[in-house]
A and B are shown apart, each in its own frame.
Chain A
């Protein structure tokens, strides 16, 4: 019903566009030069007047109508229903809605309920019909207003551009508000968590064992929520991954941009980027079934004790996974350094390697740091490989041959399965998320400062 209305509105707007355009042609007497704007702008102007006010009213109406109708229905109910406590009233209203839409209801409806359902149904009908009438009137009135306003001197382009400008502003704020929303929701859940577990224990505790008692007398249910082992594990695995990815990625980028022939580059670059397209779960297999046993065997041959799930295996594979993030982006920024920089260096008798290390890399530094940062955030956020190759045990260790776990893996294990959402165990996931957010934010700020300090601008 309402989607039909939306469709009608769109069709009306399209009609408005052609009406406005033709009107513009007519008032200009066929001479487009006499118009302030191009005819298509007059068309868009009319379409906007036709569609936009109606759409706004439609949106407001659609959000308000259900609650208004329910208020009206409830106020018409017999007092014994009307005066129920809010949560029970809620149940009654739900029953009512199910009754109207023909769903299963909790009990056989009595007369009062049937009466209310009837009223609900009628009110809904009235509401929908009046919505149609109001929207269509608004749309036609808007189009008529715009149609009348069209004259050669009407600045249609400026008006349309104002609306487009507004649209752009709205789009840019969507991301910001989403971020703020996510942060706030995580923050509130974390505050709940910190009411149950002291923040100092969470930040500085070295024991991670997120168990809570279901019964008071349960055995082995003393939970420990020290997040240090998790962050240490994250740091260890990300560190190993970066040690693999940054040198290999950077050297690959240098080769691709400075040494490789264009033909080779055209093949090798997409091939490298395919690495980024492999699902991480596949990397997980690879890490768990190939790399981890290999490392264990090599370790055994050297007389070392290696756990079958090790931070090294996960880190190595993760490093391979993020090579393309470093190489592809760095290659782009190194390529973007103007040829005149290379020429200037060569003309002074610099060798290729001198030119690369002294001119190209410093000039491309901001972009390179950006690519490394992106790789770091991928490494920190990576979950699948760690679950499969590094294990779940929260060991506090700097030994890459032992099993460790990371923040993201713990968040997943805390929230999978049937959980109650008020126990410290589940709330801990939000606290971990918040910490992770803060840590990556700090990393970003540090990197930004580094870039600003050492950047060499070539424009």
Chain B
């Protein structure tokens, strides 16, 4: 992974420099700030999730307008944009976490493997077992490290014996790169870990249920750079087996870990594309302003 990261990083640097210096805007397709039509390719060859015409309302206020995007299988897609742009709201639509907010209303089409996740036949409990989530602030349960990871498998009846559960817990911790650090202290409370370890515990907890998609809502914003680097490395490894959607405020992080990037702006999906392209050659003026630091 290191080579891709370095390449993307240098690509980002070269992208930021000329834009800041002179502003060669020859590649821009949309220069009109008021044009909020999504630019770029919203479809991919092997979509895991397909979203079309998604609108989200909080009471009377519309938080997202007409969002359409594909989420590719075994890819990392990053949602970026200024605060309040709707990227977290959209993320929470993907596993119907917005259901817990009474005033929230979602319209449009959201499909997971050709199945409409908002269809009445869908059981939200089973859906969330297929689409895991990691939150901004590490939120381990006030239980032991072991119990934190065992929580999901237990409630879904995924294992029959204690030995199987042990194995699953250890495997999940191993995948989250945490096993070595906690092997001797499985019965310590999860809250006794450091922030970065807690976040990896939350990732282990999510993958213990064996989801197909993992949603991450600014997973590193509460962590120091070293813990952040570990999580980013982990995300890159997890891509092999899972589809990952990550919301981030750090453009460097988006550039480092994602293959595709989507830029949200005040409730609109402005631009979608390959990460390299978004950061080196944005097509929308708003995207360019944001990644060059002129806005947000």
Contacts and interface: CB of A to CB of B under 8 A. Distances in A.
Given A349-B129, A358-B155, A457-B191, A344 B135 contact: yes
Contacts of B128: 346-349
Given A343-B100, A457-B191, A349 B155 contact: yes
Interface residues of B, number: 28
Interface string B127-152: 11100110101011111000000011
Contacts of B135: 340, 343-344, 347
A340 B137 contact: yes
Contacts of B176: none
Interface string A434-459: 00000000000000000000001111
Contact of B141 (A349, A351, A359): A359
B227 to A, nearest CB: 18
Contacts of B100: 342-343, 346
A342 to B, nearest CB: 7
Nearest to A351: B125
Interface in A357-410: 358-359, 362-363
Contacts of A345: 141, 151
A354 interface: yes
Contact of A338 (B95, B132, B139): B139
Contacts, number: 76
Contacts of A348: 128-129, 132, 151-152, 155, 205-206, 209
A183 interface: no
A341 interface: yes
Contacts of A459: 191
A350 interface: yes
A347 B133 CA distance: 6
B97 A343 contact: yes
A456 B129 contact: no
Contacts of A343: 97, 100, 133, 135, 139
B125 A344 contact: no
Interface of B: 95, 97, 100, 102, 125-129, 132-133, 135, 137, 139-143, 151-152, 155-156, 189, 191, 202, 205-206, 209
Interface of A: 261, 338, 340-351, 354, 358-359, 362-363, 456-459
In the complex, the 7 A-B pairs of residues with the closest C-beta atoms, listed nearest first: A456-B142, A349-B129, A347-B133, A340-B139, A349-B128, A458-B142, A348-B152
Given A341-B141, A349-B209, 17 more contacts: A338-B139, A340-B135, A341-B139, A343-B97, A343-B100, A344-B141, A346-B97, A347-B206, A348-B128, A348-B132, A348-B206, A349-B125, A349-B155, A350-B125, A362-B142, A456-B143, A457-B189
